[in-house]
Structure 1
Amino acid sequence: MSATTRPSWTWTIEPPDGWLVVPSTATEPADAVRAWESEVVEALLESFLPEGATGPDAPDPDADHVATVRGSLTQTVGSLVTFADEAATEGARAMAGVGLLDRGPVPVLVTVGMGDPDESDDVFMTVLGAKGGNPVSPPSIEYPDLPDGDGIKVSRVDIDEATGGAWVSVAAGRRTEFPDGVVDTALVWRSQDLVLVPTILDAIVDLLPAVKIIRSTV
């Protein structure tokens, strides 16, 4: 490698079926984000209503129900964009899973960062929930085999001191080694929907390969 070149990297997401990359108004034109919201609402509407409930031939008695569902989905999709806006301030992105146990879009935070392989991995483990905080019991940690890096899967439960409610966190991570450093990928979901935990655990591990690390020299 010549003295005028240096390694560089970036990352992108290639969402598989059932997943959406949520745009952010912090990084994309507002009109493009609004168009995305409208398209997603209409696409989801079809899956949340009985066949034939929308369109010009839909029976009049369903009109109010369709409007109610559309309004609820509009609010949900708008919340996804708000989540993506908050993620963008930290250099992260947001994804949403569709059709997981018939739930609405399930938001997942995606972060990618490069580090020194000789330094402690405490930050990465804390992001995944394997360290820090005051969980109800020690986090459950597993190490799945991945084709493109060392994997880790973490789940934990914390109690919200203000409300007394239980919050579950599920995360999947991947450490990919390069000659000049390591790149850590983390997918994190946090919710009070305890029933969804087994499904989302498997789903986000399967989602890890969708986050692509791109290497180049500049």
Structure 2
Amino acid sequence: MSGVGVQDWTWTIEAPAGWLVVPSTVTEPAETVGAWQGEAVELLLTSFLPQDSVGGAQPDAGHVELVRDSLTQTVASLVAFADEAATEGARAIAGLGLLDRGPVPVLVTVGMMDPAESDDALMTVLGATGGNPVNPVNPPSIEYPELPDGDGIQVTRVDIDEAGGAWVTVAVGRRTEHPEAVVDTALIWRSQDLVLVPTILETLVGLLSAVKIIRSEP
């Protein structure tokens, strides 16, 4: 994040168990991202293949390689998602094992503004406004969950794409006000997997605390 006044502001993600912070080739060396991809594939492989047991049959080698190839493509897609996010100053995280799904990508954004110019930018980022003017659906559902460090905002909305497909977006955010800055944090998930919505709603609210805003004095 950019600085306001004499303060320097940064933010990090301390991913809890079951979540991975996805690196981007936009902000990190290619070798670092490549090493992460290899580690992520092996981590996922252990969850997709049967666990060894005493006297149990070993997975077929050919099947293992097919799964590995599929997971390699999946992890590469996560990095591509992170690359796209990084161009906008955002980051990506991925949840593992949510309803037995593959890695579930979530966009993480943090924005800062002068308190004198505080507006409804967070509501816009979360999708509480705007949408598809051609195929409108019901207005976004907006709730205000209680967070450990204050009140949050939760937005659930459905949009129709040009092909007529329904896309659900779940976004949660918080606004933290400081004397010298207003800091907005948002987590956004978008998918056609409607079955996953209740789990994502519960998960993202708890995940907000993983995003740490750091202020350092000059």
Give the alignment's TM-score, normalised by structure 1: 0.91
Q: Distance in 2 between matches of 1:61 and 1:48?
A: 11
* Secondary structure of 2:117's aligned partner: coil
Does residue 22 of structure 1 match 2:35? no
Which residue does the alignment assign to 2:137? 136
- Kept in 1, the 8 Å contact 2:145–2:153? The answer is yes
Where do residues 5-84 of structure 1 align in structure 2 (5 Å cutoff)? 6-52=6-52, 62-84=60-82
| Range moving further from structure 2, 163-172 or 130-139 | 130-139
User: How far apart in 2 are the matches of 1:60 and 1:51?
Assistant: 9
SS in 2 for 1:152: strand
- Partner-residue secondary structure (3-state), 1:25: coil
2:197 partner SS: helix
8 Å contact kept, 2:94–2:103:
yes
Structure 1 unmatched ranges of 5 or more: none
Task: Describe the SS at the equivalent of 1:197.
Answer: helix
Distance 2:205 2:58 in 1: 44
Q: Where do residues 1-218 of structure 1 align in structure 2 (5 Å cutoff)?
A: 6-52=6-52, 62-119=60-117, 121-134=119-132, 135-161=136-162, 163-218=163-218
Judge conservation of contact 1:122–1:131 (CA < 8 Å) in 2.
no
> 2:157, 2:168 within 8 Å by CA — same for their partners in 1?
yes
Superposition RMSD in Å: 1.8
The change in CA–CA distance for 1:86 and 1:61 in structure 2 (over 3 A counts) is: closer
* Residues 92/178 of structure 1: CA separation in 2 closer, same or farther (3 Å cut): same
Whether contact under 8 Å (1:110, 1:188) holds in the other structure is yes
Structure 1: distance between partners of 2:115 and 2:131: 25
Question: Secondary structure of the residue that 1:153 maps to in structure 2?
Answer: strand
In structure 2, stretches of 5+ residues that fail to align are none
Partner Cα distance (1:37, 1:158) in 2: 32
Q: Aligned residues, how many?
A: 210
Partner Cα distance (1:76, 1:64) in 2: 19
How far apart in 2 are the matches of 1:217 and 1:38?
38
CA distance in 1, matches of 2:16, 2:58: 37
| Residues 76-123 of structure 1: CA deviation (Å, up to 9, x unaligned) | 000000000111111100000001000000000000011133435332
Distance 2:56 2:36 in 1: 25
Does the CA contact (< 8 Å) of 1:109 and 1:188 recur in 2?
A: yes
User: How big is each residue's C-alpha offset from its partner over 1:57-91, in whole Å with a ceiling of 9 and x where there is no partner?
Assistant: 99677222211111111100000000001111111
Amino acid at match of 1:113: G
User: What's the CA shift string for 1:9-31, capped at 9, x where partnerless?
Assistant: 11111000111000001111111
Contact conserved, 1:9 with 1:214, CA < 8 A, in 2? yes
How many angstroms apart in 1 are the aligned matches of 2:72 and 2:94? 15
1:207 is displaced (CA, Å) by 0.4
Percent identity among equivalent residues?
75
